[in-house]
Structure 1
C-alpha cells in the first residue's frame, strides 16, 4: 500500500521561524548571562530596601573624613530618642578617630564598613578589592570591638564582580532607596523634604556624618519628628533585613549602560 505525505509549505515555514527564534533567544540569554538581575538565588544582591508592610526605616550615615559633624549627629539622635541607626565608617577615618567610633558603639548604634580607601572598587583588580575589604574589616573590628557584617562601598560603586567578592568575604552590600542629598548641601528644608517625600516602609535612608555635610545635623530632628508623626519607627539595617526577604536590583556589565545611579561624592 502506497503512503503519501502532503507537506504544507506554510506550516513548515512557521515551524522553521519558531525554531530560529528559540535558538536566537537562547543565544541572547547565554550571551547576557552576566547581566541578569543579581536577585537570583545563586548570586549576592545589593540591598536597597526591604519589602515590608511594617512602618520601619533605617537611618544610615556614611563617614570617611572630618570630626565636626559626627558628634552633633549623635547628639541629635540621642535628643530625639532614636536608639537604632547604622553608621558606615571607613577604616582610615576610624583609625584616626577611635574616640568617635567608641561613642557610636556606646550609644548602641550599628557599625558597618565603608571600605578602606575611598575609591571606586569597580576599577580595582580582584586582589585589590579583596585587600581593601579585608583591611577595612581588620581595622574597624579592632577600633570598634565589633566585626562589621555590612558594607556600603565608597561612592556606592559596585558591579557583579565586587558583589561576588564581598559575598565571599561574608559581607552584605548595602545601598539605599532614599538619598537625602545632604552631601550636596542643598539646605535643611530641601533635605527634610526629600526624605519625607520619598520614605516608605522598609526604606534605607542615606545621610552623611562627614564634615562636608553641613546641614544634616539640623535636618535630622525634623526628619525624625515628621516620620514619627506618620507612624514610622527606626531600626538598624540588620534589623530591617530580618523583617523579610530583601529586594535586589539589576547590576549590568560595566561595558553596558547602567540603570543604577551611582552616588558619586568625596566623602
Structure 2
C-alpha cells in the first residue's frame, strides 16, 4: 500500500515537472519569436527596430524650418551628444544650413527618402529612384556615410528592404512611437516616450507639424537618462545587438 502511494506521488511529481517544462519552453519560444525577425531567415535583409544597450532618440524631419533648430539646441543644452535625424532629401535640399547644424552638433544623419511617399504603395523602380535621389542630395551637401534609411511613412515591406539592402542602406524602424506629430499634449508625449527602456529606438519629429515636441524634450531626456546612455542608431548596429522587424 505504502509502495503504491509512493509510486503515485512520484508520478504526480514527474507529471508536474513535465507540464511546467512544457509551458516554460513554449513561453521562451514565444519570447524568441517576438524579439527576432521572421524575415531574418536565410540571410534576408531586415529592419532594425530595437537594440540591447543604450537609448536612441530619433527625429524625422520632412518639412518646415521652425522646429528643428530649437530641438537641436535643446539636445545640446541637455547634454545629449548622440541622436539620429532622419531627413527627407527634399527638405535637406532646401535647408542646407540646418543640415550643417545637425552635423556640427555631432548628431547622426539618416535618410527619410526624397519625397513623402508610401514605399509599400509605390512601384519598386520608383522606390529605388526615391532612395537614390535622397542619397544624391546628401552627397551634394557633403554629408558622409548616410547608411540608414527610414521609410517616409513608416510603412515598408520585403521589397523595400531588398532595395535598401542593394543600395547599402539599413532600414530603421522604432520600438517606441510618441505620436508627437499629432500634438496630443506635452504630458502625453512625455508619458509615451518615458516608456522607453534600455535598447529602445524612440520615434520623435522635428518637422513643423510637431509643435509640442521641443517643450516635452527636456523632461523626456531627464526621465530616460536613468534608463540608459543615449546613442546613435549606428552604434546599436555596430554593437551587433539589434533586434529586427517581423515582416509578414
Question: Aligning the two structures, in what range does the TM-score lie when normalised by the shorter sequence?
Answer: 0.7 to 0.9
Tell me how far apart the structure 1 counterparts of residues 134 and 95 of structure 2 sit (CA, whole Å). Answer: 14
Alpha-carbon distance, 1:72 to partner: 0.4
Q: What residue in structure 2 maps to residue 216 of structure 1?
A: 213
Q: Secondary structure in 2 aligned to 1:118?
A: coil
Contact kept, 8 Å, 2:197 with 2:227, in 1: the verdict is no
Alpha-carbon distance, 1:142 to partner: 1.7
Return 5+ residue gaps in structure 1 as ranges. Answer: 1-35, 253-267
Contact kept, 8 Å, 1:105 with 1:144, in 2: the verdict is no
Alpha-carbon distance, 1:86 to partner: 0.3
Q: In 2 relative to 1, CA 226–245 (structure 1 residues): closer, same or farther, beyond 3 Å?
A: closer
Cα offsets for 1:207-251 (capped at 9, x unmatched): 0000010011011100111112x2421000001222233212321
Do structure 1's residue 59 and structure 2's residue 53 form an aligned pair? Answer: no
Q: How does 1:67-146 map to 2 (within 5 A)?
A: 67-146=65-144
What's the TM-score, normalizing by structure 1? 0.77
Q: What residue in structure 2 maps to residue 183 of structure 1?
A: 181
Do structure 1's residue 233 and structure 2's residue 229 form an aligned pair? Answer: yes
Correspondence for 1:169 among 160, 167, 170: 167
Contact kept, 8 Å, 1:102 with 1:144, in 2: the verdict is no
Alpha-carbon distance, 1:144 to partner: 4.4
Q: Secondary structure in 1 aligned to 2:57?
A: strand
Cα offsets for 1:136-195 (capped at 9, x unmatched): 011022224323100001111110011101101010000000011101101111100111
Q: What residue in structure 1 maps to residue 3 of structure 2?
A: none
Contact kept, 8 Å, 2:197 with 2:224, in 1: the verdict is no
Q: In 2 relative to 1, CA 250–124 (structure 1 residues): closer, same or farther, beyond 3 Å?
A: same
Q: What residue in structure 1 maps to residue 245 of structure 2?
A: 249
Alpha-carbon distance, 1:41 to partner: 4.3
Tell me how far apart the structure 2 counterparts of residues 144 and 92 of structure 1 sit (CA, whole Å). Answer: 15
Q: Secondary structure in 2 aligned to 1:48?
A: strand
Tell me how far apart the structure 1 counterparts of residues 142 and 150 of structure 2 sit (CA, whole Å). Answer: 17
Contact kept, 8 Å, 1:46 with 1:163, in 2: the verdict is yes
Contact kept, 8 Å, 2:236 with 2:242, in 1: the verdict is no
Q: How does 1:11-50 map to 2 (within 5 A)?
A: 37-50=38-51
Q: Secondary structure in 2 aligned to 1:234?
A: coil
Q: In 2 relative to 1, CA 107–241 (structure 1 residues): closer, same or farther, beyond 3 Å?
A: same
Q: Using the TM superposition, name which of 64-73 and 38-47 deviates more.
A: 38-47
Q: Secondary structure in 2 aligned to 1:207?
A: strand
Q: In 2 relative to 1, CA 144–88 (structure 1 residues): closer, same or farther, beyond 3 Å?
A: farther
Q: Using the TM superposition, name which of 95-104 and 139-148 deviates more.
A: 139-148
Tell me how far apart the structure 1 counterparts of residues 38 and 227 of structure 2 sit (CA, whole Å). Answer: 33
Tell me how far apart the structure 2 counterparts of residues 42 and 145 of structure 1 sit (CA, whole Å). Answer: 29
Number of aligned pairs? 212
What's the TM-score, normalizing by structure 2? 0.82
Structure richer in helix, relative to its length: 2
Q: What residue in structure 2 maps to residue 201 of structure 1?
A: 198
